[in-house]
A = this chain, B = another copy of it.
Amino acid sequence: MTASFSSNELAALLERSAWFRSAPAAMRAQLIEAGRVERLAAGQRLFTRGDSDDGLYCVLDGLVRIGAASSAGKEALLAVIEPVNWFGEIALFDNRPRTHDAYAERDSELFHVSRAALAALLERTPEYWHVFGLLLTQKLRLAFDAIEEAALLPAAPRVARRLLLMAGGYGEPGALRRVLKVPQEDLAMMLALSRQTINQVLKQFETQGALKLGYAEIEITDVQKLRALADLNPAAN
């Protein structure tokens, strides 16, 4: 990914988001009209927990970390957002501070629609509140799943599920990515496990033939087997 986009290229890129694709055509056009592409250098911060709302974002290229640093040094990593996914819609609704920190993991390009533009859009066509609400339900369902899995499942199946979730683009339909570029430490922070435990589980999955491990990279070689391992009592193949 290099320079900026033509309006057509931008549209094509955004259409890869299932949410955007399902939005009304008029809304899509107005969003494209209202937003700007912004570039972010690796490590640069987009916003921090507690900041006031500055609008809605969509990752076009690169990676954006969504997390929160605790008073102790530890960081709770909620997700690493890949293209093409929207985020930042909570504050749009309730106008309260941002819940998490967001910063670019690598050089990234974001599509940004300012709060003012969104307000104008929604003023004109209040039905669109419904559409933006779908972003909320999507994340709420993911959050509920995460809570339940953390509560009920041991480490191994949780790792397997997260890998499948990431491979599936966090619910965005389409073909599964077979190769995930994720350091094991990031996985650890997302699942609230130690890096060592993650490594142990991944190694075990690898010997069972479900994965192939590389440097900051995980390749899913047998989706079926990984799905089985995601179960509580994996059918002892």
Tell whether, in the assembled complex, residue B152 and residue A93 are in contact, meaning their CB atoms are under 8 Å apart: no
B-facing residues in A216-237 (Cβ within 8 Å): 232-233
Residues of the B chain whose Cβ atoms lie less than 8 Å from the Cβ of A136: 93, 133, 136-137, 140
Contact B93 A134 (CB under 8 A): yes
Query: 9 tightest A-B contacts by CB?
Result: A129-B129, A151-B192, A143-B143, A126-B127, A136-B136, A129-B130, A126-B126, A94-B137, A93-B133
Residue contact B133 to A122, C-beta cutoff 8 Å: no
Which residues of B lie under 8 Å from residue A132 when comparing CB positions? 133
Contact segment of A69-77, A105-113, A177-185, A196-204: A69-77
Q: Which of these, B93, B100, B150, contacts A144 with CB under 8 Å?
A: B100
- A175 lies within 8 A of chain B by Cβ: no
- What separation, in Å, do the CA atoms of A162 and B228 have in the docked complex? 34
Inter-chain CA distance A90–B138, complex, in Å, is 9
* Inter-subunit contact A76/B140 (CB<8 Å): no
CB neighbours (8 Å) of A139 from chain B are 140
Give the interface of A toward B (CB within 8 A): 68, 70-72, 74, 76, 78, 90, 93-94, 96, 99-100, 122, 125-127, 129-130, 132-134, 136-141, 143-144, 146-148, 150-152, 192, 232-233
Known: A143-B144, A151-B192. 7 other contacts (CB 8 A): A71-B233, A76-B148, A78-B144, A93-B133, A99-B140, A140-B143, A147-B147
Bound Cα distance A9, B70 (Å) = 45
Contact A137 B90 (CB under 8 A): yes
List residues of chain B with CB within 8 A of the CB of A76. 147-148, 151-152
Which of B74, B90, B133, B144 meets A99, CB within 8 Å? B144
CB–CB A232/B70 < 8 A = yes
Taken together as a complex, chains A and B put the C-alpha atoms of A144 and B139 apart, in Å, by 10
Q: Once the chains bind, are B78 and A147 in contact (CB under 8 Å)?
A: yes
Q: Which residues of B contact A150 (CB under 8 A)?
A: 147, 150-151, 192
A18 to chain B, nearest CB (A): 12
> Within the assembled complex, what's the spacing in Å between the Cα atoms of A84 and B76?
32
Q: Which of B68, B74, B134 meets A94, CB within 8 Å?
A: B134
**Which B-chain residue is minimally distant from A130 (CB atoms)?**
B129
A93 to B72, CA, bound (A): 38
